[in-house]
């Protein structure tokens, strides 16, 4: 507990975002929706892309905040140092900010190159790396005795654990190109 803040609820919020990132990565994988009509599958993948980018950015700000902020849940709240981001996750965070998170004039007025063209790695692979880092923090805190305060977060963690296993078998975990 930091002051009057409940770290069990804060950890549950991290689990919530991780769960959505895992779902988005699952939808972005090659295995998703083979029996769905192509238009439905493509719409689902586009929506999943936006969720994947948004949740990746949120989790990067949790893992490696650019500055300390008492309004946001950050690794500092759990007496942890920011996670050093391996390349190209720092560039990924900046690219996502410009391309997806902020409705900016630079986005509207410039032809922005694809991330893979700039850095030689897919967005999905970067999002998977964010997932692995954040999931590792959650597991470490849980092994250290931190309990989730709300039942719904415990349920999400159960599903997240199953999703983590499935994600290890996707092309993103194996370094293959994304969809």
Q: What is the pLDDT of residues 98-131, one digit of tens each?
A: 777 777 777 777 776 777 887 788 889 999 999 9
Task: Encode pLDDT of 5-19 as tens digits.
Answer: 799 999 999 999 999
Q: Identify the CA nearest to 133 among candidates 84, 77, 88, 74.
A: 84
Of 167, 100, 178, 98, nearest to 134 (Cα)? Answer: 167
pLDDT of residue 179: 45
Give the torsion sign (CA, 150, 151, 152, 155).
positive
β-partners of residue 5 are 2
Give the pLDDT score at 169. Answer: 84
Q: Where are the domains positioned within the chain? A: 7-167
Contact 28, 56 (CB under 8 A): no
pTM > 0.75: yes
> What single DSSP character describes residue 72?
S
Which of 170 and 131 is assigned the larger pLDDT?
131
Mean per-residue pLDDT, 139-151 = 94
Q: What percent of the chain has pLDDT over 70?
A: 94
Q: Residues 96, 104: contact at Cβ < 8 Å?
A: no
The C-alpha atoms of residue 56 and residue 115 are separated, in whole angstroms, by 15
How many C-beta neighbours within 10 Å does residue 22 have?
25
């Amino acid at each position: 507990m930091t002051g009057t803040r409940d770290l069990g609820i804060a950890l549950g919020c991290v689990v919530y975002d991780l769960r959505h990132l895992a779902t988005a990565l699952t939808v972005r994988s090659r295995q998703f929706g083979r029996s769905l009509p192509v238009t439905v599958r493509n719409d689902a993948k586009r929506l999943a892309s936006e969720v994947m980018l948004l949740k990746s950015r949120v989790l990067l700000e949790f893992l490696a905040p650019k500055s300390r902020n008492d309004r946001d849940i950050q690794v500092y709240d759990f007496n942890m140092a920011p996670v050093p981001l391996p390349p190209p996750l720092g560039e990924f965070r900046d690219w996502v900010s410009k391309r997806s998170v902020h409705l900016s004039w630079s986005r509207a007025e410039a032809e922005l190159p694809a991330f893979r063209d700039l850095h030689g790695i897919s967005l999905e692979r970067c999002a998977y790396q964010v997932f692995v880092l954040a999931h590792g923090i959650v597991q470490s805190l849980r092994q250290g005795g931190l309990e989730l305060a709300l039942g719904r977060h415990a349920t999400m963690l159960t599903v997240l654990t199953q999703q983590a296993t499935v994600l290890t078998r996707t092309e993103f975990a194996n370094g293959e190109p994304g969809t």
